[in-house]
Amino acid sequence: MDNDRSLIFSYLALRKTIGILGIALPFVLYFGALLVFQTGIQSSLSSYYHTGMRDVFVGTLFVIGFFLFAYNGYDLADKIAAYVACISAVGLALFPTAPGGATASNAVVTGYIHLGFAAIFFLALIYFSLFLFTKTNPFKAPTRKKLQRNKVYRVCGVTMALCIVLIVVYFLLPGETASRLKSLRPVYWLEAIAIVAFGVSWFVKGEAILKDED
């Protein structure tokens, strides 16, 4: 019984840690670059790879990837989704986005690989929030807190999906329109919102809030 309880606590702690990392990442990158390196806001979260915050960006992705690898979940779907998210998180760290104005073929190719891993990463996270976290025991009625948590998961999943769609729309805009919006850093803010939504989803899954009453 004690072993089962310890295992439950360890999984809850794992989920909460993943959530905290996701919520903190945009703020740490922004304020770290601004306060330590006097670097302004970047065009995207991934662009912080090319600033003094590179080690923080890469290190956080590796840590998230490691925790996702260690996450087994409840069934095979959980494990596969966690492995896919793990590989894509590590891929994001190993294949950085192309720096602004890059024309070298290897930098451009690496940038496209980075975009591919980013798409897979967020699709896996959306799948977690909308389909895995919302599962309920078919033999038990969901508790009031479980129903509330499911609402949070769905809001987070839809938020991530909407952010990704808006990023795609931004890149499809006519050049003149996109140029006018560029100074607002739309990709950065949409990515930041998406990654915070991911963090909130996992933080709630760790029962840091909305925990079932004993």
Residue 165 counted as domain residue: yes
Can you give the residue range of the structural domain that contains 16?
A: 2-205
Euclidean distance between CA atoms 85 and 69, whole angstroms: 8
Burial class (CB in 10 A: 0-12, 13-18, 19+), 201: buried
Residue 126 counted as domain residue: yes
Residue 107 counted as domain residue: yes
Residue 212 counted as domain residue: no
Residue 143: closest CA among 87, 214, 92? 214
Residue 44 counted as domain residue: yes
pLDDT confidence bin for 212, thresholds 50/70/90: confident
Residue 210 counted as domain residue: no
Burial class (CB in 10 A: 0-12, 13-18, 19+), 66: middle
Q: Name the region of 73 (left: φ>0; alpha: ψ -120 to 50; beta: rest).
A: left
Number of domains the chain is built from: 1
> pLDDT at position 101, please?
63
Q: Are 205 and 133 in contact (CB under 8 A)?
A: yes
> pLDDT at position 103, please?
60
Q: Give 128-166 pLDDT, tens digit per residue.
A: 999 999 998 888 889 999 999 999 999 999 999 999 999
Rounded mean pLDDT of 107-116? 92
Alpha helix stretches (DSSP H) within 71-143 = 76-94, 105-127
At 94 the three-state DSSP class reads helix
Flag whether pLDDT at 22 surpasses 70: yes
Residue 211 counted as domain residue: no
Euclidean distance between CA atoms 186 and 41, whole angstroms: 11
Residue 194 counted as domain residue: yes
Cα-based angle 23, 27, 28 (whole degrees, multiple of 5):
100
